[in-house]
């Protein structure tokens, strides 16, 4: 009989079905097997009915009764359980793929996509969010009417952030189209606002007057982004910022950096670590030319390089609070901007003069279209086709 049992060696059947056939082969009843093994009739019946599996003790008892190896009983039981568990493997693989494409839970918590356990619905929402027919291909981010950008250089959270910024910007009405002829006037007017912390709230309206959309999107947990610049079409530029560093100098440098991208006609830019302790001067010098241009123009538009160079020669390395404030007053800029540029140049440490760095996030989110920090945007206004 033991030789015949090899026919069932890899069977996905429940061990109870194998036991039923073996009982028939022996001509035994369930009561007789119960008496032989010392198990209750109910236990034998539940095993044959497939209600319970084979325990190690039962495997030993059955192997003794039928003169085969206890390991065979355990193997049959494992094979059956694995065959049933395999029914879930496909959905698990599918879900793992989706979670590798995008930060699903974070996007659901932020209301970017609906919270659903239905995988078909989840896939549909992701395709709609990323505006793609297939999640298998790299996402193409529409930069303008003629061009799309592949986002392979961004991690999933950063890709999702950029698409969310575009989605929100497309829903923001603007009174006029952008004209490059007005770019210097806009830069001059923006700089005036950088003299006072509360003036940051006027930036969205000022930019809108020049045909530029400004949106604030709180970054997802692993999106190390300061800002981005792109175009909805040839006359609809967008600046998106995260304000992840709640400092006045960070906000204004990021804003002016992204504005420099727009003014120079750069089609698409996603910028990280524009300010902050992560900045490395060597890395800055090795950046792509567009990034270097935007960085230099942002710094120059806020504080002319000649002025800052002169201040450094006269005062450095003893940058007292009063000397910084006096210099800022003379060039009509807030001291935070001076501190930020001195830190960026490594003239002072990032731990110095924090008292001169006011927060601006609460101020700018009062007036800018904002997604994050408790501010939510109704899905109804994000239907791009309805507003454009």
Interval 114-153: pLDDT, tens: 999 899 999 999 999 999 999 998 899 988 767 788 888 8
Which range marks the domain in which residue 152 is found?
146-302+358-387
Q: Determine the average pLDDT of the residues in 201-205.
A: 96
Answer whether residue 355 shows pLDDT above 70: yes
Interval 189-199: pLDDT, tens: 999 999 999 99
Residue 290 covered by a domain: yes
Cβ atoms 161, 217 nearer than 8 A = yes
- Residues 40 and 182 reside in one and the same domain: no
- How high is the pLDDT of residue 239? 97
- How high is the pLDDT of residue 1? 38
- Residues 92 and 161 reside in one and the same domain: no
Percent of the chain with pLDDT strictly greater than 70: 89
Residue 121 covered by a domain: no
Boundary-marking domain end, from 76, 97, 118? 97
Residue 103 covered by a domain: no
Please tell me the total count of domains within the chain. 2
- Residues 54 and 159 reside in one and the same domain: no
- Residues 244 and 362 reside in one and the same domain: yes
pTM value surpassing 0.85: no
Q: What is the CATH number of the domain that holds 51?
A: 1.10.260.40
Residue by residue, DSSP assigns 194-245 as TTSGGGGGGHHHHHHHTT-EEEEEPPPTT----EEEEESSTT-EEEEE---S
Residue 331 covered by a domain: no
Answer whether residue 380 shows pLDDT above 70: no
Average pLDDT, the chain: 88
Interval 299-345: pLDDT, tens: 999 999 999 999 999 998 999 999 999 999 999 999 999 999 999 99
- Residues 150 and 69 reside in one and the same domain: no
CA distance 238 to 166: 8
Boundary-marking domain end, from 97, 126, 156? 97
Residue 196 covered by a domain: yes
């Amino acid at each position: 009989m033991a030789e015949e049992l090899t026919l069932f060696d890899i069977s996905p059947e429940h061990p109870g079905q194998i036991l039923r056939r073996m009982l028939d082969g022996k001509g035994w009843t369930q009561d007789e097997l119960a008496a032989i093994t010392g198990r209750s009739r109910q236990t034998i019946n539940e095993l044959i009915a497939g209600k319970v599996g084979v325990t190690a003790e039962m495997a030993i008892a059955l192997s003794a009764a039928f003169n085969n190896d206890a390991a065979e009983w355990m193997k049959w039981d494992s094979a059956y359980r694995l065959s049933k568990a395999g029914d879930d493997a496909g959905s698990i693989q599918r879900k793992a793929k989706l979670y590798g494409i995008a930060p699903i839970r974070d996007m659901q918590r932020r209301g970017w996509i609906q919270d659903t356990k239905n995988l078909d619905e989840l896939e549909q929402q992701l395709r709609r969010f990323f505006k793609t027919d297939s999640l298998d291909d790299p996402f193409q981010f529409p930069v303008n009417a003629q061009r799309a950008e592949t986002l392979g250089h961004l991690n999933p959270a950063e890709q999702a952030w950029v698409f969310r910024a575009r989605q929100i910007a497309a829903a923001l009405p603007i009174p006029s189209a952008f004209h490059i002829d007005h770019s210097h006037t806009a830069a001059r007017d923006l700089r005036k606002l950088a003299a006072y912390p509360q003036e940051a709230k006027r930036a969205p309206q000022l930019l809108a007057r020049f045909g530029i959309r400004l949106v604030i999107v709180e970054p997802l947990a692993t999106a190390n982004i300061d800002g981005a610049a792109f175009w909805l079409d040839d006359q609809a530029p967008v600046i998106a910022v995260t304000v992840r560093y709640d400092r006045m100098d960070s906000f204004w440098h990021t804003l002016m950096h992204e504005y420099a991208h727009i003014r120079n006609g750069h089609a698409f830019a996603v910028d990280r670590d524009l300010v902050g302790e992560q900045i490395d001067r060597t890395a800055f010098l090795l950046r792509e030319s567009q990034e270097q241009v935007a960085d230099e123009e942002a710094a120059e538009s806020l504080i002319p390089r000649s002025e800052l160079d002169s201040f450094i020669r006269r005062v450095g390395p003893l940058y007292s609070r009063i000397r910084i404030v006096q210099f800022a007053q003379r060039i009509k800029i807030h001291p935070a901007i001076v501190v930020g540029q001195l830190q960026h140049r490594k003239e002072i440490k990032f731990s110095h003069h924090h008292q001169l760095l006011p927060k601006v996030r609460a101020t700018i989110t009062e007036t800018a279209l904002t997604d994050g920090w408790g501010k939510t945007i109704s899905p109804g206004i994000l239907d791009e086709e309805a507003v454009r």
